[in-house]
Structure 1
């Protein structure tokens, strides 16, 4: 009897697009997935952004936002943005869920 295990895709590498408007994530299964900087900024779950949502102060969009820095924490990425926000940690499975994977 053969058993087949379902293995979720794993992030293997990442980079930004030349214009810094997109995070390009490479995975073990899907090749590359693209996540817009604005989508990432809107999806931040840090305490500051969570509180701003709760208080009704979170913006509806971040037009023209860019990714300025990425720190790899092993389990996730700490992404900094051109609006100065640098508190968001995006676990790698969360990034893939944002990409619909």
Structure 2
């Protein structure tokens, strides 16, 4: 009898969409997912954004926000946005949860 281990998917590859309005993710299970840039920006958990939420000064929307740069840190992605924000680190399991996985 052979046993196969169930392994949760993780991010295998990624890129910004052509219009920079979404992060396109391919998982190790070969799923193709898309996370809108606005959802990413609204979901940032960096200290600056966390404090802004606590103080009631975090925006409710980021219309027209675009992804300007993506840095791979191994365990997650550092994503920069067109509003100048570049402090957010998105662990790969968190990215998949934002994509509905």
3-state SS in 1 of match to 2:41: helix
Residue 74 in 1 paired to residue 42 in 2? no
Specify every segment of 5 or more residues in structure 1 that has no aligned partner in the other structure, as ranges: none
Moved more, 43-52 or 29-38: 29-38
Q: CA RMSD in A?
A: 1.0
Structure 2 length normalisation: TM-score?
0.95
Aligned counterparts of 1:97 and 1:3: Cα–Cα separation in 2: 27
Per the alignment, residue 83 of structure 1 pairs with 83
Per the alignment, residue 53 of structure 2 pairs with 53
Compute the displacement of 1:30 (Å). Answer: 4.7
Compute the displacement of 1:100 (Å). Answer: 1.4
Aligned counterparts of 1:4 and 1:23: Cα–Cα separation in 2: 31
Compute the displacement of 1:2 (Å). Answer: 3.9
Specify every segment of 5 or more residues in structure 2 that has no aligned partner in the other structure, as ranges: none
Structure 1 length normalisation: TM-score?
0.95
Aligned counterparts of 1:100 and 1:22: Cα–Cα separation in 2: 14
Number of residue equivalences: 101
Per the alignment, residue 39 of structure 2 pairs with 39
